[in-house]
A and B are shown apart, each in its own frame.
Chain A
Amino acid sequence: MPFSRKYLTIWILLAIVLIVVFFLSLSFGAIHINAREIFSSLSNYFSGEALSLDERIFLDIRLPRAINCLLVGASLAMAGVLMQALFRNPIVEPGLIGTSSGAAFGASLYFVLGATLHFNVGTWTLPIAASAGGALATFLVFVLSYRKEKSQSVILLLLTGVAVNALCLSGVGLMSYLARDPQARSITFWNLGTMSGSSWNSVIIIGVSTSLCTIFALRMTKSLNALAMGESEALHLGVNINKLKISVIAITVILVAVATAFVGVISFVGLIVPHLLRLIRGSDNRYLLLGSALLGAILLSLADLTARLLLAPAELPIGIVTSVIGVPVFILLLRRNQHYF
């Protein structure tokens, strides 16, 4: 019997896995923290009692980092779903419309010229610089590919994205070239992505923006489904195409820029997660969006665990972990989806 897809089962399964992975990522790391210590640090914190060193590590470092992994993973994966639906192509990634590379350029500008230009507003400087760069680059892609007479062309948008990406990356290159050693190291580290800078500040900001974006994005899933048949068909089904495009791009920029601003460039999450979910149960965007939020959170937490444990007590940049897994999947996708080009 048609009409039933049993999405709920998948969502619940993913949620259970998510809880398990979350506790794993709370426990393991440079020091091991067991369940009793997790509860004692929480109860001591709320009753105002003195905290031991391990409990402090847990509350100030481990917990915000684990939550950020969930939030950033969910953000990047949902951005992937939204972009793929908008461009009607399963191999599109948020990085393609300039957001990630723009953010990287903004961050490297701050690393190298921040001190000279006296551009510094405390801990917020890097996130602001990166968000501004990401939003500007995306805006540039959008304006350069805008056609007044006709509707937006996806191919034009993608190719403009390629050009703007190249420009931003050469900007990052120039900054690395100009940089002194410690600055260059900062640029490199940030471009590879790291969860180690997670603080409660960043948890709150990413948390609020991700939740708001999720609510707005959920309202667009039906229109995005219709878009799978092409712009004119979606129009005939009552979708206001231009409004939809602008909203989806705005949401994606916020999701990606805010996450990237705090943790650096982490690629391929937006590509792998929706693809895995499509293999499990089809292409309904409502299923994909919530499913991606959950699976993205799971996979990024696992990637961060790997990054923390592989060379413990030293740490691997998380972007390297996601790329090592992501590149083969991307190539496989390219080869399997040749009829889309």
Chain B
Amino acid sequence: MLQLENVTVKVGPKVILDDVSAAFHAGKMNLIIGPNGSGKSTLVKAASKQLTFDGGSVKYNGNDIKNMTYQQLATFRAVLSQQTEVAFPLKVWEVVMMGRYPHFTTQPGSRDEQAVEEAMKYFNVWPMAERDYVTLSGGEKQRVNFARVLSQIWFSEQGQMRYLLLDEPLTFLDVNFQYQFMHRLEEFMQKNAMVVVGVVHDLNLAARFADSILLLNEGKVLVQGTPQEVLTPGNIEKAFNIKPEILKQKDSFYISF
């Protein structure tokens, strides 16, 4: 379980996250939504020890993040962000192998190579292993990064719970890749015990894939619960300032504006 307890983050006098408490459970697709500037990315940054916060605590399986080094954290927690550019010409497999860096000191072992190969096959980038990362298209690059990030937590180390944080990883992808990735992620979650917390923009995507949704507004938790509980016309209008229409169809539902 990933737990945020009264987390407060300020930048200068501005409060970005205001006393946020939330719990994210294993085996569930936990998605975070909210309008621009509501603190979604900051929440992921706080949870991944990327910034220091002004109050509260983040706990992985009950252990305070303050007592963990970046190296320790990296062995069981991976983070995927919007877009990753590399500064030098690197081959695709070299980029994916970076996901295994927390697990070896100088040379990758056979386990690392196995994780990289399996993750690359899982996201269908194995055929481009020898290509230069810089020459890939945006969609191909992001698939390579999915493979890199999942290779980081491909195996559970000594039964340790694994965590995957997603910071709007689907933003620059077309709709086909978005759904492909979410399906692959769902599949991976079914086979491996792990905690997934992801920020997404698209409310319909959240409605379709989330087990639990956290709606942030102005740095505060507006509501956390199932898609049916969270995605009500009242909540959406309050956060996004636009009146939605909810279309129900059997057990799925759609939001239209």
Chain A residues close to B by CB (< 8 Å): 2-3, 88-90, 222, 225-226, 228-230, 232-233, 235-240, 278, 282-284, 286, 340
Contacts and interface: CB of A to CB of B under 8 A. Distances in A.
B152 interface: yes
Given A228-B86, A236-B79, 17 more contacts: A2-B129, A2-B130, A88-B87, A90-B88, A226-B98, A229-B84, A229-B86, A232-B81, A233-B81, A236-B74, A237-B99, A237-B102, A238-B75, A239-B70, A240-B71, A283-B88, A286-B106
A284 B116 CA distance: 17
Interface string B64-91: 0000011111110111010011111111
Contact of B102 (A2, A233, A238, A240): A238
11 contacts: A2-B130, A3-B108, A88-B87, A229-B98, A235-B48, A238-B72, A238-B74, A240-B71, A282-B90, A282-B91, A286-B106
B197 to A, nearest CB: 14
B117 to A, nearest CB: 8
Nearest to B110: A3
B93 interface: yes
B70 A238 contact: yes
A18 B222 CA distance: 67
Interface of B: 48-50, 69-75, 77-79, 81, 84-91, 93-95, 97-99, 101-102, 105-106, 108, 113, 116, 129-130, 152
Contacts of A286: 106
B48 A236 contact: yes
B79 to A, nearest CB: 4
B88 A278 contact: yes
A237 B101 contact: yes
B106 A222 contact: yes
**Those 3 A-B pairs whose CB atoms lie nearest each other, nearest first:** A238-B74, A88-B87, A283-B88
Contact of A235 (B50, B91, B152): B50
A90 B89 CA distance: 10
A226 B81 contact: no
B50 A282 contact: no
A222 B101 contact: yes
Interface core residue of B78, B86, B88, B129 (most chain A CB under 10 Å): B88
Contacts of B72: 238
